[in-house]
């Protein structure tokens, strides 16, 4: 097994955990992207700025990585637009209803040993694995 | 002011980590979710790396009475497993498994947007706003149907029920 291929993934993961640590330790907030994002539309005036700045930081951090390593993602050529729209709607609706995504339930929820987050993480992981199988191998969409 | 600066800084580290981890590359994410294909295990290292940090640091942080710069920790006290949590996780899993985008990478990808993002992100915002709309309507209906305070007494008092559980 070529372990060096997993090094960026491991370091990236450690940085994500470090960012969540900073936000909880300094600001007392959990670094769940969907909650920070969706609630920025409905939050009270004084509760909006830190959310927006966190998200601006996320974009800036990714921009810095792309600039340093020239590793911008490339769009798929034949992926159906309607599937992206359906996928987006499900992700938005589901993370709002279930109060969390990979970062909130996965990284932060597991970190604080929340049973709700453990159950949510297992459910969305298994559902995503089944869905990917159906989309790729039953319908042949890549 | 300080809170805004540290929030931005945490976001910066988060975004760099996401991109370095390969989470904004859908072929990597779907390569991990696709067990029937040429399986890419690297996402295990992303989640493993992140959780092994938070598992250690959160223990110490949450022993404090309050965070360094704010008055209190804003974390949900909700502990029971309910239907919205489970249905929400199923719907999110379906959406994630179709395209390979979850909310964090979708935001990070604004640093280098392509046409996929312009289809995905507005739809995701619409989905979240639609869910919030139905939620508010349900709450309003429940309140209208139950004007008295009776039968409420046994319910635990939860301060801002879902804030802080969010991802």
Give residue B150's pLDDT.
Answer: 52
In a domain, A98, yes or no: yes
Same domain, B36 and B53: yes
Cβ-defined contact of A96 to B128 (cutoff 8 Å): yes
Instruction: Give mean pLDDT, residues B118-138.
Output: 96
Which of B77-91, B117-131, B147-161 is predicted with the least confidence, judged by mean pLDDT? Answer: B147-161
Give residue B77's pLDDT.
Answer: 84
DSSP secondary structure, A70-129, as one string? -------SS--HHHHHHHHHHHHHHHHHTT--IIIIIIIIHHTT-HHHHHHHHHHHHHHH
Same domain, B1 and B69: yes
Give residue-wise pLDDT tens across range B45-67: 999 999 999 999 999 999 999 99
In a domain, A14, yes or no: no
Give residue B147's pLDDT.
Answer: 65
Q: Nearest C-alpha of chain B: how many angstroms from A138? A: 11
In a domain, B164, yes or no: no
Total domains present in chain A = 1
Give residue-wise pLDDT tens across range A14-45: 999 999 999 999 999 999 999 999 999 989 98
Percent of all residues in chain A with a pLDDT value above 90, rounded to a whole number:
90
Can you give the three-state secondary structure of A10-71, one letter per residue?
HHHHHHHHHHHHHHHHHHCCCCCHHHHHHHCCCCCHHHCHHHHHHHHHHHHHHHHHHHHHCC
Which domain, by its residues, includes A110?
Answer: 76-142
Nearest by CB to A100, which of B50, B54, B165? B165
Mean pLDDT of chain B: 90
Total domains present in chain B = 2
Query: Helix, strand or coil for residue B32?
Result: helix
Tokens 């994500």 belong to residue: A16
Percent of all residues in chain A with a pLDDT value above 70, rounded to a whole number:
99
Q: Which residue of B has its CA nearest to A88?
A: B124
Give residue B161's pLDDT.
Answer: 45
Same domain, B48 and B31: yes
pLDDT for residue B130 is more than 80: yes
Which domain, by its residues, includes B142?
Answer: 80-156
In a domain, A104, yes or no: yes
Q: Which residues numbered 86-105 in B keep a CB inside 8 Å of some CB on A?
A: 86-104
What residues of chain A lie within 8 A of the CB of B101, using their CB? 87-88, 91
DSSP state for residue B65 in the 8-state scheme: S
Same domain, B38 and B104: no
Distance CA(B124)–CA(A2), nearest Å, equals 36
Give the DSSP H or E segment for B97.
helix B83-99
Task: Write down which residue in B30, B56, B73 finishes a domain.
Answer: B73
pLDDT band for A1, please (50, 70, 90 cuts).
low
In a domain, B130, yes or no: yes
Mean pLDDT of chain A: 95
pLDDT for residue B155 is more than 80: no
């Amino acid at each position: 097994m070529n372990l060096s291929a997993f090094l960026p993934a491991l370091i990236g993961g450690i940085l994500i955990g470090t960012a969540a640590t900073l936000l909880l330790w300094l600001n007392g907030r959990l670094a769940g992207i969907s909650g920070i994002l969706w609630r920025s539309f409905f939050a009270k005036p004084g509760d909006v700025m830190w959310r927006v700045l966190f998200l601006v930081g996320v974009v800036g951090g990714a921009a810095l990585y792309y600039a340093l390593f020239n590793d911008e993602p490339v769009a798929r050529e034949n992926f159906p637009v309607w599937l992206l729209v359906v996928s987006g709607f499900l992700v938005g609706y589901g993370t709002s209803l279930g109060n969390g995504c990979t970062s909130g339930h996965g990284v932060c929820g597991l970190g604080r040993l929340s049973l709700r987050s453990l159950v949510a993480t297992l459910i969305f992981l298994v559902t995503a694995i089944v869905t990917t199988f159906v989309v790729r191998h039953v319908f042949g969409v890549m | 002011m300080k809170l805004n600066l540290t929030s931005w800084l945490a976001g910066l580290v988060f975004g760099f980590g996401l991109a370095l981890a390969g989470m904004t590359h859908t072929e990597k994410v779907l390569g991990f979710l696709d067990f029937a294909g040429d399986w890419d295990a690297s996402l295990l290292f992303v989640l493993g790396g992140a959780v092994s940090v938070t598992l250690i640091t959160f223990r110490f942080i949450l022993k404090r009475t309050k965070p360094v710069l704010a008055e209190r920790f804003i974390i949900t006290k909700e502990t029971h497993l309910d239907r919205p949590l489970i249905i929400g996780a199923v719907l999110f899993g379906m959406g994630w498994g179709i395209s390979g985008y979850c909310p964090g990478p979708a935001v990070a990808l604004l640093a280098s947007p392509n046409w996929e993002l312009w289809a995905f992100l507005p739809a995701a915002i619409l989905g979240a706003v639609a869910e919030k709309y139905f939620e508010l309507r349900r709450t309003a209906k429940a309140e209208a149907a139950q004007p008295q305070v009776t039968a409420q007494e046994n319910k635990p008092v939860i301060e801002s029920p879902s804030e802080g559980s969010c991802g």
